[in-house]
Chain A
Amino acid sequence: MRYLLIAATLLLALAACETESLPPLVAADVIVTEPVPGHRMSAAYLSLSNNSRNAIRINRVSSPNFGAVELHESSVEDGVAKMRPVEELVIAPNSKVALQPGGLHLMLMRPNADIDEVSLNFYQDTTLLLSVDTKITRRSN
């Protein structure tokens, strides 16, 4: 029984260390679609996890590979597809927000020529919260 208690305590301590060591904001499943040739825009999708005890607010995203990046939300209301800018993305403590096709996404405008790798920088005002690097996803048609 005593060994069991020691093992459980150790496991708990280990779990606590794991949680503590996670960065506050983590990106996963990052996809940046290839701009259609001759077109000046694209989209980025990813999930953002807030591992901290405080809400994280993202109100600016930039990329050295695009002239402008905006946070948008697509929706279909009464059969009508709409897209609207989103001023601020708030991720509650210990929760995850998914940016995915047909919903929240990053609209990437005015791409540099021949981009292959993309960096995305997420800010709250002027504070850089997270940088993500990924390769462009080519569509296979």
Chain B
Amino acid sequence: MHLKQFLIALLLGSALAAGLFLAMKSGTPAEVRSATVLPGAGELPDFSLIDQHGEDFNANAFRGQWDLVFFGFTHCPDICPTTLQTLAEVRRALVESGDENVPRIVLVSVDPERDTPEILSRYVNYFGAGNIGVTGELEQLRQLTSGLGIYFEKVNIEDANYGVDHSAAVLVIDPDGKFVALFSAPHRVDDYLHDLPIITAKY
């Protein structure tokens, strides 16, 4: 091959590679595949609960960062730790990728009777530093959950190891403290890593 032909081939090859790169970059999927994005951001209801340090936790606490909010309880051996583990993996992957909108993980206890701030503190810290545990008065909890369409109900209440049925969804709250999207079960790390950047980019 002559030098001229070689240079032309090199030029064409480079152009093709650059074109492919740009096409892939601009081809970032803009549609979520798992999350449900709400048509309009929802205001959070007024509520007054406490975090794992015993500090006030109200609607203002959701301002300033992205939050993934899960409703569960610490006596739950399967679904709650599995979900928190999934969310912890999502957070770790986002931190490693340098994402600017790494959300906090907030566990709101639907079992405030047993989940004291001390118990919640050990529990949420186990799944990563910076996680938040929320508990408080049942009436205030109902104020928050009913405003968000979250269901919970004690079952087998005659048993000391009673359970709590609860909505399995994870809510996405934006830095203005507005409810913008939700992930339904089953929760998969890949779905979050695919959808969260799309959701946060719309902010």
Residues of A within 8 A of B (CB): 33, 36-39, 41-43, 72, 74, 76, 79-83, 101-102, 105, 107-109, 139, 141
Within 8 A of A (CB), among B49-105: 72, 74-79, 81-82, 85, 88
Inter-chain contact A139/B126, CB cutoff 8 Å: yes
Which chain A residues border B163 with CB–CB below 8 Å?
82-83
- Determine whether B200 belongs to the interface, using a CB cutoff of 8 Å to chain A: no
The docked-state distance in angstroms from the alpha carbon of A132 to that of B78 is: 20
Question: What 0/1 readout, one digit per residue, does chain B (177-188) give for beta carbons within 8 Å of chain A?
Answer: 000000011100
- Judging by beta carbons under 8 Å apart, are A141 and B168 in contact? no
- Once A and B bind, how many residue pairs between them come within 8 Å at the CB atom? 80
Residue in B74, B161, B165 whose beta carbon sits within 8 Å of that of A82 in the complex: B165
Contact check, A80 vs B122: say whether CB atoms are below 8 A apart.
no
Interface of A is mostly: strand
Chain B positions within 8 Å of A, measured between CB atoms, are 72, 74-79, 81-82, 85, 88, 119, 122-123, 126-128, 151, 155, 161, 163, 165-169, 184-186
**Chain B nearest CB, measured from A100 CB (Å):** 9
**Smallest CB-CB separation from B185: which chain A residue?**
A76
Sampled A-B contacts (16; CB under 8 Å): A33-B81, A37-B126, A42-B77, A43-B81, A79-B151, A81-B185, A82-B155, A83-B76, A83-B163, A102-B185, A107-B78, A109-B161, A141-B85, A141-B126, A141-B127, A141-B128
- Is B185 a contact of A43 with CB atoms below 8 Å? no
Q: What separation, in Å, do the CA atoms of A36 and B79 have in the docked complex?
A: 14
Known: A79-B184, A80-B151, A81-B168. 20 other contacts (CB 8 A): A33-B81, A39-B75, A42-B77, A43-B81, A72-B77, A74-B79, A76-B186, A79-B151, A80-B167, A80-B168, A81-B72, A81-B166, A82-B155, A83-B79, A83-B163, A101-B79, A105-B77, A107-B78, A139-B85, A141-B127
